[in-house]
Structure 1
Amino acid sequence: MTSRTPWAEKRFQALCAVAMVAALSLSISAPASAQDGPSLIRDTEIEEILHRDADPLFEAAGLDSKTVRILLVGDKSLNAFATQGLMMGLNTGLILQTETPNQLKGVIAHEAGHLAGGHPIRSAEMTRAGLRPMILTMGLGVLAALAGAPDAGAVLLGNASYFGTLGALGYSRDQESRADQAAAGFLEATGQSGRGLVEFFDNFRYQEVFDQARRFAYFRSHPLSSQRIETLRSRVERQSHYDAVDSPADLAEHQIMKAKLEGFLNPQVALMKYKESDNSFPARYARAIAYYQMKEPDRALKLIDSLLVDNVDNPYLWELKGQVLFEFNRVEQAEEPQRRSVALKPDAPLLRINLGQTLINQKEPAKVEEGVRELKRALLNDTDNAVTWRLLAQAYDKQGKDGDARLATAEQYFSMGAAQEARVFAMRARELLTKDTPEWRRATDIVLASRPSNQDLKDLAKEGATQSVFRR
């Protein structure tokens, strides 16, 4: 499921607390919608394409590809960034501007050069008075998003003047040059051409003559110059894989990714770009998503069904069909396509959450109970997924399990770093749950980890709760 979370407004203290939460599981949020402003986007299909592009480059850079987080930022501006904690952000605007997979891989390789060189941490500009806290805040905002609180994380990035800070921070020309050279080496080591990175820079060479305020955000933080481009060109043209080309599979995936993003984020543009006369898979995919976004579910479903005729084992088409049906109140009809998507890709928690959400919104108690099981299974990989905890609270409330519902709500707030709300709901859960059960102990843990008041601690001590926790 593609999901898009707008920047919300939450307190700075609550967001910083998220950085202290142990898990860094990713989470989904509200359905995609066309709206202005930056947002964090989650989509299993796009994330897999990005990691297939990026992981070999991360490994060539000496980075553990399993620990590098790629954030897909829903923003039309052309930008990318690397920050503390091995995190890389790619704007959808930048992805849509790349003409080939090799161009996108070139940008990723360049950002990997910054990560491997420690540039986000070592930049001399970070030592300037007043800037270090902003960059630290930005890092915590990304951490908050990864910890299952995209709403909360978004605000911290906003409070850190996300795009402004990136532009103000920037890299030195020396760092840019070193990242260019590192990128060329990573691409060569993975048997890929550096031509794409040079092409990408060439396409925006005119940015060099603009004043700072008129440049794209990427070129404010990554200063571009003709000399820099020519130095890079000289290097990559001498490399043995300069003439390597993108594989047909890579080209197809890149087109699919761009079509999907265009359909979700710019549906009217997608319908003009991918005309009815174009019967290619990416074009029909983009149109189906665009019609869905423009609230024409029947036209969307007709296109999706035509795509499924020749792509019956594509889990993302079944996912999309289920998403359209669910969001247009055809909940029972949504169940079967969502089951198909999970069966085809059982290890994708986002798909399983979709199914769980559909099941708990049905009337039959057996369906609701099955939905609870699916959501719990998704949480095995996404422990701190705030949305999943919210759905579980909804299901438990429907089942009349008040203690479990309040505990799930406490988990939701805890994963978002909202300590006060987490503590309040955890205390309520303790009153309703059986003492010394795993659920009751977990509620006590949340209270103790959520800045309890002196009165809270006294109440726990009277019950012997703290001793019970420490005896485990």
Structure 2
Amino acid sequence: MGIVTKVLPALAAAMLALGAALPASAQGLIRDAEIEQILRDYSDPIFEAAGLKPSDVNIYIVQDDSLNAFVAAGQNMFLHTGLIMEARTPEELKGVIAHETGHIAGGHNVTREAAMGAYGGTSLITMGLGALALFAGAPDAALALFGSAPQFGMMTLFKFTRIDESSADQYGLSFLEKTGQSADGLVAFMENFRYQELMSESRRDPYFRTHPISSDRIAALTRRAKDVTAKSSPQSPEAIEELAMMKAKLVGFIGPANRVASRYPTTDQSLPAKYARAIAAYRAVDIKAALTQTDDLITIEPDNAYFYELKGQILFESGRATESVQWHRKSVELAPHHALLKVNLARSLIGTKDENDLAEAEGLLMDAIQLEHDNSFAWNQLAVVYGRMDRIGDADLATAEEAYYRGDMARAYVFARRAVDKLDPNTPNGRRADDIAALADPRIQPRGGRQGFSGAALAPHP
């Protein structure tokens, strides 16, 4: 599991698009092959039922304990780790995903932008009235109006979003029905947090600030949900186990050590409990215990790619890169279509310091980039490989790509210009470097923002 330690441009842009402040606890996005695959297993049938191409919908996992999920800036879905941890059943998580998919299918990003415009306009009008009251010599009235401005604006916003929320509920129910899944989870999720509507704005979970809930909405949802559920199939044991494994992994990696001990005591011999304790031992730098417990996991499920990944990670990060290679290689053999697993193996090969391993590392990183062109860490590692190979122009270009996908336009421009000076302008890489230099040119960048850009991946050296 890797945690990006800064808020990525996609997250920042999405939060700003919603008019929301970035919470202090949301320091970045989590990338984890296993969790992402499980969420895809849950989501892709729903996306297809909505008439969406699953590969066009991006799912981002936000490291934040608060209960929240949202869509923004097109087909981008953001799920907080707090939401995954609070879901009691796969149906609840799938229900929220179906609801959020309803926002995408219904084009609600457009209407929300209009709603935010109305919200801002109402607040400005209210603030203007406050100023008029102040000038009229009524400071108490002015202060009251100033203080109520956000509430007046939010009331206007809710006039728009309550319609969207009810619409997304019905879309979500349709998608669950098409995929033969129970709607009880979505209803249970809403019922469980019905009390949120009685709370002040500041005390509500973020999800219910942007997804206003009401008794009427729950009643409408419940009426149709009964028919959907009556035609559904029960959740598979695999889906139930997957949710338990996601929770165990999140608790192990991002939760405090005492949380692992309290939720997964040694008396609990379930697979998720053993998983969480192995991860906790690794985080506590008890490498011997972590390896022993991970070996136990591998014995139980010898075809689980993510157990091999964990063992490789433990070895690599404890300075045993050469030993880690075989375990990362096994994870790639078992799950060959995961970009993150390929990057892990490439990083271990780079870490062996054996120049003979560099060509294989390059190939793995190129494969990963074909799967995820915007994987900035893959570009970073490719730059390391090319630097070791003394292919400095290609290394500069890979660094420019890394910076571009991190949203660092100044750095992207500098390294793209360096690459332009070193690479043949008539080659794909030379043209690519020139494209990035043009797009990242500080003279045309709007306040340092990233413009849309896609193109062929960095070409492998012949």
Query: TM-score, with normalisation over the residues of structure 2?
Result: 0.80
User: Does the CA contact (< 8 Å) of 1:188 and 1:241 recur in 2?
Assistant: no
Task: Provide the residue aligned with 1:146 in structure 2.
Answer: none
* Aligned partners of 2:176 and 2:228 also within 8 Å: no
Q: C-alpha deviations, 1:328-377, integer Å up to 9, x for none?
A: 11111111101111111112111011111111122221012322222122
| Equivalent-residue separation in structure 2 for 1:261 and 1:360 (angstroms) | 28
Instruction: Name the larger-Rg structure.
Output: 2
Whether the aligned pair in 2 keeps the contact of 1:236 and 1:242 (CA below 8 Å) is: no
Q: What's the CA shift string for 1:81-117, capped at 9, x where partnerless?
A: 1123111111110111010001111111111111111
Contact kept in structure 2, 1:56 and 1:190, CA below 8 Å = yes
Query: How far is the alpha carbon of 1:320 from its aligned partner?
Result: 0.8
Structure 1 pair 167/267, CA: closer, same or farther in 2 (3 Å)?
farther
Q: Taking every aligned residue pair, what percent have the same amino acid on both sides?
A: 43
Matched residue type, 1:5: V
2:111 to 116, 122, 130: 122
**2:307 paired with 1:317:** yes
1:285 alignment partner AA: Y
Separation in 1 of the partners of 2:435 and 2:217? 54
Q: State the partner residue of 2:360.
A: 370
Distance in 2 (alpha carbons) for counterparts of 1:318 and 1:107: 31
Runs of 5+ unmatched residues, structure 2: 14-23, 122-152, 445-462
- The verdict on how the C-alpha distance between 1:301 and 1:168 changes in structure 2, with shifts beyond 3 A counting, is farther
Given that residues 193 and 243 in structure 1 are in contact (C-alpha distance below 8 angstroms), is that contact kept between their aligned partners in structure 2?
A: yes
Aligned to 1:359: 349
Match of 1:181 in 2: 170
Q: Could you tell me which of 77, 81, 84 is aligned with 2:66?
A: 77
* Residue 374 to residue 64, structure 1, CA distance change in 2 (3 Å): closer
Contact 2:102–2:167 (Cα < 8 Å) also in 1? yes
How far has the Cα of 1:402 moved from its partner? 2.4
Q: Verify: 1:284 aligned to 2:274, yes or no.
A: yes
Which one of 326, 336, 339 corresponds to residue 329 of structure 2?
339
Mean alpha-carbon deviation: is it higher for 256-265 or for 391-400? Answer: 391-400
Unaligned runs of 5+ in 1: 17-34, 132-164, 455-472
Alignment of 1:20-99 (within 5 A): 36-99=25-88
Q: Where do residues 218-367 of structure 1 align in structure 2 (5 Å cutoff)? A: 218-239=207-228, 241=230, 244-268=233-257, 269-367=259-357
String of CA shifts for 1:163-214, please: whole Å, max 9, x gaps.
xx99996662222222222222221221111111111111112212111111
Match of 1:450 among 440, 443, 448: 440
Give the distance between the partners of 2:197 and 2:216, measured in 1 at CA. Answer: 11
2:185 is matched with 196
**Cα 1:446–1:87, aligned 2, differ >3 Å: closer, same or farther?**
closer
* Structure 1 residues 452 and 232: alpha-carbon distance in aligned structure 2, compared to 1, 3 A threshold: closer
- In the alignment, is the contact (CA less than 8 A) between 1:79 and 1:90 conserved in 2? yes
**Contact kept? 2:7, 2:28, Cα under 8 Å:** no
TM superposition shift of 1:53: 1.1
Name the CA distance, whole Å, in 2 between partners of 1:240 and 1:421: 53
**Are 1:217 and 2:200 counterparts?**
no
Pair 1:400 & 2:399 matched: no
Counterpart-to-counterpart distance in 2, 1:368 and 1:62: 43
1:283 Cα deviation from its structure 2 partner: 0.8
In the alignment, does 2:10 pair up with 1:6?
A: no
1:267-324 CA deviation, whole Å, 9 max, x = no partner? Answer: 4212220111111111101111122223222221111100111211111111111111
C-alpha distance in 2 between matches for 1:450 and 1:42 = 26
CA distance in 1, matches of 2:395, 2:268: 49
Match of 2:400 among 397, 407, 410: 410
SS in 1 for 2:3: strand
Alignment partner of 2:420 out of 403, 410, 430: 430
Asked if the contact 1:360–1:372 (Cα under 8 Å) also holds between the matched residues in 2, the reply is no
Residue 185 to residue 256, structure 1, CA distance change in 2 (3 Å): same
**Cα pair 2:7 2:29 within 8 Å, conserved:** no
SS in structure 1 at match of 2:60: strand
1:417 & 1:38 partners in 2: Cα distance? 16
Kept in 1: contact 2:311–2:327 (CA 8 A): yes
CA–CA separation in structure 1 for the residues paired with 2:27 and 2:243: 22
Q: Does the aligned pair in 2 maintain the 1:360–1:369 contact within 8 Å?
A: no
Change (3 A) 1:332 1:217: same
Distance 1:385 1:167 in 2: 40
Aligned equivalents of 1:205 and 1:348: distance in 2?
A: 39
The separation in 2 between residues aligned to 1:90 and 1:351, in whole angstroms, is 22
- Aligned residue identity for 2:362: V
Q: Secondary structure at the match of 2:54?
A: coil
Distance in 2, matches of 1:79 and 1:225, equals 17
Determine which structure has greater relative contact order: mean sequence separation of CA pairs < 8 Å that are 6+ residues apart, divided by chain length: 1
User: In the alignment, residue 317 of structure 2 is paired with which amino acid?
Assistant: E
Structure 1 residues 216 and 399: alpha-carbon distance in aligned structure 2, compared to 1, 3 A threshold: same
The number of aligned residues is 399
Instruction: Return the alpha-carbon distance in structure 1 between the equivalents of residues 156 and 66 of structure 2.
Output: 16
Separation in 2, partners of 1:70, 1:37: 16
Counterpart mapping for 1:160-179 below 5 A = 172-179=161-168
State the distance in 1 between where 2:398 and 2:325 align: 24
Partners of 2:426 and 2:48 in 1: how far apart? 46
Q: Distance in 1 between matches of 2:213 and 2:442?
A: 51
Tell me the distance in 2 between the aligned counterparts of 1:281 and 1:60: 32
Q: Is the 8 A contact 1:194 1:242 kept in 2?
A: no
Q: Which residue of 1 aligns with 2:20?
A: none
| TM-score normalized by the length of structure 1 | 0.78
- 1:380 alignment partner, SS class: helix
User: 2:8 touches 2:406 (CA, 8 Å); kept in 1?
Assistant: no
Provide the rounded CA distance (Å) in 1 between the counterparts of 2:73 and 2:353.
46
Q: What secondary structure does 1:88 align onto?
A: strand
Measured in 1, the distance between the counterparts of 2:397 and 2:369 equals: 15
